[in-house]
Amino acid sequence: METLILSDEDVHRIALGVGLDHLMDELIDRLTKAFETFSTETTVVPARDGFVYDHPVPGLLEWMPCMTYGDRATVKLVGYHPGNPKTRSLPTILSTIGAYDTTSGHLICLMDGTLLTALRTGAASAVASSIMSAPGSRVLGLIGAGVQAIAQLHALSRTFDLEEVLIYDVDADVQGTFTERSSVFASHLSIRPATVGDLVRKSDVICTATSVGIGEGPVFYGVEPKPWVHLNAIGSDFPGKVEIPLDLLQRAFVCPDFRTQAIREGECQQLTPNQIGPDLFEVVQNRDRYQHVRDQITVFDSTGWALEDHVAMNLFMELAAELRLGTRVQIESIPVDAVNPNYFATSRRHETAQRRPTEPVLFESPDIAFRQTGT
């Protein structure tokens, strides 16, 4: 009973094997179905929890669990360490996600969570935007042009017939390389830099995907967007970090991905409870009732919902099986006699049977020096 390891390289091979567009389309489709059928009677999604610290370096390590009864639980571990790029040549976010069989507890698969996170975040915006944006939306504005903006553009380019993409980033290098970085799927699109003001005024759909500092938001203000603009607030994922101006939020239909988290970490931090609309799954499940919001200013407050990771991981696992990718390793202890799982006897039997058939097993090895430092 082995565990499948899907490394970042396996994940990339899956994406290239099925095609990035095909992968994104399928994920948007599955996420839509998952929102349509979501019920707390079949699926449990606790609010994520984690360790937040300021020393020795500022960082965050959090876990995002999700379970579908009788099927699978997934738990994504996400490390967020903004000092990584400069001090360690590592990305800010490192992530792995495990899938567990809820009928046995077995760790079925462990995979890198980086591409999965970007894809599902993009796909969730596509689902939200397709329901809440005005009919005929053609201009997309991206505030923040980093890796998440690439995934946002990819997902929205699969959902909308985009005429123009306006981009803005405080970092000129990041802004300057965006067109090249997105050329894999977006070479047919007209992408051009803009001032924040122009971008906000001209866009039908706006994605904010910035790493604006805590207490330093919003990322634009004093400029009036189109009266039907839809915003996807992606970089809203930390207490004190906000991207959208309060006066705009207060006039908007605000739809969080997961209310509990959004109130703690998202744009909803700025709002009173009665100013917050229904969760995305409720809007998806009642499209007709929310038809009218298309004509209003709408905000999808995206903090990252574990169900999205769950759906994406199931998809990657299916594709890995079809493409025969990944490495199988035996990690968990499965004793010979499951009814009587005695580790000492088992390991002795195991050792004597497999490695030292006639010699006695040595249980003392005084040569090994233990380091006596505490933990």
The answer to the question of residue 368 lying near a copy of itself (CB under 8 A) is yes
Pick between residue 214 and residue 334 the one whose CB is nearest to a copy of itself. 334
Residue-wise over 320-331: b if at least 16 C-beta within 10 A, else e?
Answer: beeeebbeeeee
Question: Which of residues 164, 185, 196, 251 is near a copy of itself by CB under 8 A?
Answer: 185
| Dist CA 52 CA 62 (whole Å) | 8
The answer to the question of residue 176 lying near a copy of itself (CB under 8 A) is no
Token pair, residue 162, equals: 């985009």
Q: How many CB atoms lie within 10 A of CB 240?
A: 11
- Residue 119: which H helix or E strand, with range? helix 114-132
Restricted to residues 77-116, the positions that interact with a copy of itself (CB under 8 A) are 77-81, 84-86, 88-96, 98, 100, 102-107, 110-112, 114-115
Stretch 274-313: interaction string toward a copy of itself, x if CB under 8 A: ------------------------------------xx--
Q: Strands, DSSP E only, in the chain? A: 3-6, 43-44, 49-53, 59-68, 72-80, 93-101, 107-112, 139-143, 164-168, 191-193, 205-208, 230-233, 253-256, 298-301, 327-329
Stretch 4-43: interaction string toward a copy of itself, x if CB under 8 A: -xxxxx-xx--xxxxxxxx---x---x--xx--x------
Pick between residue 154 and residue 230 the one whose CB is nearest to a copy of itself. 154
Compute how many residues bind a copy of itself; rule: CB under 8 A: 123
Q: Residue type at 172?
A: A
DSSP 163-225: SEEEEE-SSHHHHHHHHHHTHHHHTTS-EEE--HHHHHHH-SEEEE---PPTT---S--S---
Question: Which of residues 141, 144, 146, 218 is near a copy of itself by CB under 8 A?
Answer: 146
Question: Which of residues 39, 272, 358, 365 is near a copy of itself by CB under 8 A?
Answer: 365
The answer to the question of residue 264 lying near a copy of itself (CB under 8 A) is no
Q: Are strands 59-68 and 49-53 parallel, antiparallel or unpaired?
A: antiparallel
DSSP state of 108: E
Q: How many CB atoms lie within 10 A of CB 33?
A: 12
The answer to the question of residue 172 lying near a copy of itself (CB under 8 A) is no
Restricted to residues 41-70, the positions that interact with a copy of itself (CB under 8 A) are 44, 46, 49, 51, 53, 55-57, 59, 61, 63, 65, 67-70
> Residue 56, preceding bond cis, omega within 30 degrees?
yes
Question: Which of residues 274, 358, 359, 363 is near a copy of itself by CB under 8 A?
Answer: 363
Interacting span for a copy of itself (CB under 8 A) from 189-197, 202-210, 236-244, 315-323 = 315-323
* CA-based radius of gyration for the chain: 24
Interacting span for a copy of itself (CB under 8 A) from 134-142, 172-180, 239-247, 275-283 = 172-180
- Cα 177 to its chain centre, rounded Å, is 23
227 CB-side CA count, 13 A? 1
Restricted to residues 111-140, the positions that interact with a copy of itself (CB under 8 A) are 111-112, 114-115, 118
Restricted to residues 233-262, the positions that interact with a copy of itself (CB under 8 A) are none
Question: Which of residues 150, 212, 297, 299 is near a copy of itself by CB under 8 A?
Answer: 150
Question: Which of residues 273, 274, 338, 358 is near a copy of itself by CB under 8 A?
Answer: 338
Closest CA to 301 of 351, 330, 353, 259: 259
